[in-house]
Structures are given as C-alpha cells and as structure tokens.
Structure 1
Amino acid sequence: MASSSGTSSGSLELQNSGFEEDLQKLMDQKKRKRMISNRESARRSRLRKQKQLDDLMAKVAQFGNENNQIITRMNFTTQLYLNIEAENSILRAQTAELSHRLQSLNEILNFLNANNGGYGIEENYSIAESAYMNQSCNSHFVNQQPIVGMADFLHY
C-alpha cells in the first residue's frame, strides 16, 4: 500500500507540476497579450496626441493668417478714413470761404442797390460780376482770401 500511495502521490505531483506549468504558460501568454495590447494602446494614444497637436498647430497657423488679414484690412480702412477726413477738412474750409465770398458779394449788391450810384440795375450787376470775377481770379494767387471792403472801394 505504501507503494501504491507513493505512486499515486508521485503521479499527483507530476500532474500538479504539469498543471502548474500549463497554468504558468497560460499566465505568461496572457501577460504577453496584455503587454502587446498595452503597447498598442500606448501607440494609439501617442498617435491621437500627435494628431491633436498637429490640428492645434494648423489652427494656430490659420488664426495667424486670419489675424494678418484683419490687420491688413483694418490698416487699409484706417487709411481710407484718414483720406476722407482730410478731404472733409478741405471741403469744410472751401465751404467757409465760399460762404464768406457770398456774404461779401451780397454786401456789395446791397450797397449798390441802396445807393444806385448813378447806374442802372444791370450795370450794378455787371460791376458786381466784374468784382466777383476779379476776386475769383486774384484769389488763386493770394491764398484764396476773399476781397473785403469792396463796397467801400466802390463808394469812392
């Protein structure tokens, strides 16, 4: 019996050692699969992060281009605004000058009409027109200053 119990115990040990070897192989195989799976997952994660970084870099470049375009348009618009503002200043000055000339001419006409200076109405307008033309021609040479005191001159 001793021999049969020894034999059965040896056979059990062989079975156990075979089972442990199989179990160890199975665990090693699972461990390798897990390592391979982890490596593949890490590789996919690195690729995702690289793609995100590339997408963000592309957006940075796109926003930089859009920003440059906006700055260019803003500078162009500012320049147009400054040009128009300068033109408006010139037009305001011309308007003030023309208003002053009109006032001077109206004063001349009022003076001529009031005194009638020995001339008929048509002659008065002719004199006023000559004075205005003379004023217009001379104003280009004298910084476009209106003639002041024309009514006093005509009186003498």
Structure 2
Amino acid sequence: MFSAQERVYDPSAGTEITCDKFEELLAILQSEEPLSTNSGSGEINRKVQPVDERKRRRMISNRESAKRSRLRKKRWLENLTEEVNRLSFENRELKNRLDIVLRYGNDVSRENNRLKTESVCLKIRLLKLYRVLINMQKSHT
C-alpha cells in the first residue's frame, strides 16, 4: 500500500503516523476480533471501551427507567380501577336513594290527591247541609 517510511497525517490525534502503524490500525479495524491492549493499539481500545461501557450503562439505565415507568403505569391503572369501583358503588347507592325518594314522592302525591278529592267531597256535603238548614229555617218561620 505505502512504503514503510511514508507518514500519514492522523487528524483525530493531530499527529503523523507511519504507514506500518496505519496499516496495523486498518487491519485491526477491519478484523472481526475484539480489540485488545496487547495489539499495540491501546489508544484505540481505550477510546472504544468507554463508548461500549457508556452504551451498556445507558442500556441498563433505559431498562430500569422503562421498568419504573411500567410500574408507575400499573399503579396508575390500579388506582383508576379502584376509583371506578368506588364510583360505581357510589352511583348504585345514589340510584337506590333516588328510587326511594321518588317512591316516597309518588306516595305523597297520591295521598295529596286523595285528600284533595276528599276535601271537595266534604265541601259539597257541607253545601248540601247548609241548604238543608236554610230550608228548615224557612219552613219554621
């Protein structure tokens, strides 16, 4: 590729490296073997390892966060279920009370109508009695 004496500029490090070193690094990057510090590329290994470690820690953190989120959602859903049950019970109780009040109101309304009818009948009877009394007084005079 290059002669051994040629140097290549490494922009990431801001220095020049020999072609031998460049080819060695290129071979390491192209290989499927994991990087190790014994290959003479300790600097690359130190750069890759923190990225992998950060990635691993981030993945663990994301899993824990997702687990906490699922637990929060589960508690939220349980609370909603409890509230639905409580409100359903309260609704049944209120319906029962309303039914009792409506029945009582109907009973009172029927009794009121009966008393009105009785009152009208008594007024008519009273009028008839007044007429009888007036007729009796006329006949005695």
Aligned twin of 1:83:
107
Question: What 5-or-longer segments of structure 2 have no aligned partner?
Answer: 6-16, 25-37
RMSD: 2.7
Which of 94, 110, 119 is the matching residue for 1:70?
94
Answering whether residue 140 of structure 2 is matched by residue 113 of structure 1, we say no
| Structure-2 separation of matches of 1:102 and 1:79 | 34
| Structure-1 separation of matches of 2:107 and 2:129 | 33
| Structure-1 separation of matches of 2:89 and 2:137 | 71
| Structure-1 separation of matches of 2:129 and 2:112 | 25
Provide the identity percentage. Answer: 32
| Structure-1 separation of matches of 2:41 and 2:67 | 38
Question: What 5-or-longer segments of structure 1 have no aligned partner?
Answer: 118-156
Which of 40, 57, 75 is the matching residue for 1:51?
75
Aligned twin of 2:51:
27
Q: Render the CA deviation track for 1:28-77: whole Å, top value 9, x for unaligned.
A: 11011100110011011111111221121112112111211110111001
| Structure-1 separation of matches of 2:51 and 2:101 | 73
TM-score where L is the length of structure 1? 0.64
Question: Rg: which structure is higher?
Answer: 1
SS in 2 for 1:70: helix
Structure with more of its chain in helix, by fraction: 1
* Cα displacement (A) at 1:16: 6.4
TM-score where L is the length of structure 2? 0.70
